Amino acid sequence: MHLDNSLKVGSNEMELVDFRILKEEEGEVYEGIYGINVSKVREIIRVPSLTELPGTPEFIEGIFDLRSVVIPVVNLAKWMGIQQPENAEKNSRVIITEFNNVLIGFIVHEAKRIRRISWSDIEPATFVSGSGSLDGSKITGVTKIEGDSVLLILDLESVVQDLGLYEPDVDNIPQELESFSGYALVLDDSSTARKIVKEALIKMGFSVVEAIDGEDGLEKLNELYATYGKNISNQLKIIISDVEMPRMDGFHFAANVKDDSRYDNIPIIFNSSISDHFSENRGKEAGGEAYLVKFQANSFYDEVARVVRAHMK
């Protein structure tokens, strides 16, 4: 399967790996359609020989060595609490992902294709599914595809947290923080991520305005401009934006900000779970002053302080 990194900055599009999970209920087999951002996918392989790990959750099938890197492998159907049909694994593949600087493999029943989808066609996951343990907190967005089918974008980061492989580095806070004033605008569709970033910025002295996606971020900017007018850049010191967000992603949001003379001198830092160099380069092309991987406290504080200081000169 060819993984394409040709998306243009500001296009408000993403590419998804479309994969399938089969579920059996009362003798009937149903196909669930799911997706993950191509930017988080290293490669897709056949299921390798795995070494079991005793004492781990049932959904961890084991580990294997991929070019001298030991990678844990999660069975997504088991993690989702889905009853699998007997022949479900005949076309199974492992999607090797990297995010938050963690490599992990996910077993799926079939990897179908690459889909290019506009973020504007992706709706936030504001529901709770009845598929076993798969609730709204494990889904970041939904979108319709051909035949009125629905594709669910899974929050695979929550698997990494379930495994204990990734914990936000919120305790590793520098002893002395430089104190700032003014506002910081934080964009993230995850309430947990917004909370972590907000607490960090408050420790630095900022007042925080929150937005749930790019469209909401532009609305918050306009509200601040209505209050402060041309003095907004003296009040709003920094924008911290996630990249993956329904309706309008972080790159498209940044492109809009930099194209607006009212806001183009307000610095933007991207704070994302996507840890590939391509996305980092796209962040720079979109006008970002820095690209951070969630959430590494020292890097976060240092970069925010550096960027704000540079724009105060």
Instruction: Please tell me which residue, 163 or 26, carries the higher pLDDT value.
Output: 26
Per DSSP bridges, beta strands 93-99 and 102-108 are antiparallel
Residue 196: domain span: 183-312
The pLDDT assigned to 133 comes to 42
Would residue 4 count as lying in a domain?
no
Per DSSP bridges, beta strands 69-75 and 60-66 are antiparallel
Mean pLDDT to the nearest integer, 211-219: 94
Closest by CA position to 40, among listed 201, 159, 174: 159
Residues 152 and 210 in one domain: no
Residues 42 and 146 in one domain: yes
Question: In the chain, what are the helix, strand and coil shares in percent, each to the nearest 5?
Answer: 30, 35, 35
The pLDDT assigned to 14 comes to 81
The pLDDT assigned to 19 comes to 96
Are residues 72 and 63 in contact, defined by beta-carbon separation less than 8 angstroms? yes
Is residue 29 within a helix (H) or strand (E), and if so which, with residue range?
Answer: strand 28-37
pLDDT, tens digit, for every residue of 166-187?
555 555 556 566 789 999 999 9
pLDDT, tens digit, for every residue of 221-266?
999 999 999 999 999 999 999 998 888 999 999 999 999 999 999 9
The pLDDT assigned to 182 comes to 95
Residues 6+ apart with CB under 8 A from 78: 58, 59, 84
Q: Is the pLDDT of residue 156 over 60?
A: yes
Q: Quote the number of domains for the chain.
A: 2
Q: Residue 27 — pLDDT band, cuts 50, 70, 90?
A: confident
The pLDDT assigned to 119 comes to 84
Residues 143 and 191 in one domain: no
Closest by CA position to 38, among listed 64, 66, 6: 6
The pLDDT assigned to 128 comes to 42
Q: Point out the least confidently predicted range of 45-59, 152-166, 243-257.
A: 152-166
Q: Residue 131 — pLDDT band, cuts 50, 70, 90?
A: very low
Would residue 232 count as lying in a domain?
yes
Instruction: Please tell me which residue, 271 or 130, carries the higher pLDDT value.
Output: 271
For the chain, counts of helices (H) and of strands (E): 8, 15
Percent of the chain residues past pLDDT 70, beyond the cut:
85
Residues forming beta bridges with residue 16, ordered by sequence position: 37, 115
Would residue 216 count as lying in a domain?
yes
Dihedral sign, Cα of residue 126, residue 15, residue 37, residue 95: positive
| Residue written as token pair 């993984």 | 3
Would residue 177 count as lying in a domain?
no
Residues 300 and 223 in one domain: yes
Would residue 3 count as lying in a domain?
no
Q: Is the pLDDT of residue 51 over 70?
A: yes
CATH number of the domain where residue 219 is located: 3.40.50.2300
Mean pLDDT to the nearest integer, 114-129: 76
43/98 Cα distance (integer angstroms): 10
pLDDT, tens digit, for every residue of 55-112?
888 889 999 999 999 999 999 998 888 888 888 778 899 999 987 778 899 999 999 9
Would residue 44 count as lying in a domain?
yes
The pLDDT assigned to 139 comes to 80
Q: Is the pLDDT of residue 268 over 50?
A: yes
Boundary of a domain, candidates 163, 193, 208 = 163
Mean residue pLDDT across the chain: 85
Residues 138 and 189 in one domain: no
Q: Which residues of 218-230 are buried (b: 16+ CB within 10 A; e: fewer)?
A: bebbeebbeeeee
Residues 43 and 155 in one domain: yes
The pLDDT assigned to 132 comes to 40
Would residue 148 count as lying in a domain?
yes
Residues 300 and 189 in one domain: yes
Would residue 133 count as lying in a domain?
yes
106/310 Cα distance (integer angstroms): 42
Which runs of E-coded beta strand occur in 110-242?
A: 110-118, 139-144, 150-154, 183-187, 207-211, 236-241
Are residues 271 and 201 in contact, defined by beta-carbon separation less than 8 angstroms? no
Question: What is the CA 312 to chain-centroid distance, rounded?
Answer: 30
CATH number of the domain where residue 39 is located: 2.40.50.180
Q: Residue 130 — pLDDT band, cuts 50, 70, 90?
A: very low
Percent of the chain residues past pLDDT 90, beyond the cut:
47
Residues 52 and 99 in one domain: yes
Boundary of a domain, candidates 112, 134, 163 = 163
| Residue written as token pair 């305790």 | 171
Residues 144 and 17 in one domain: yes
The pLDDT assigned to 129 comes to 45
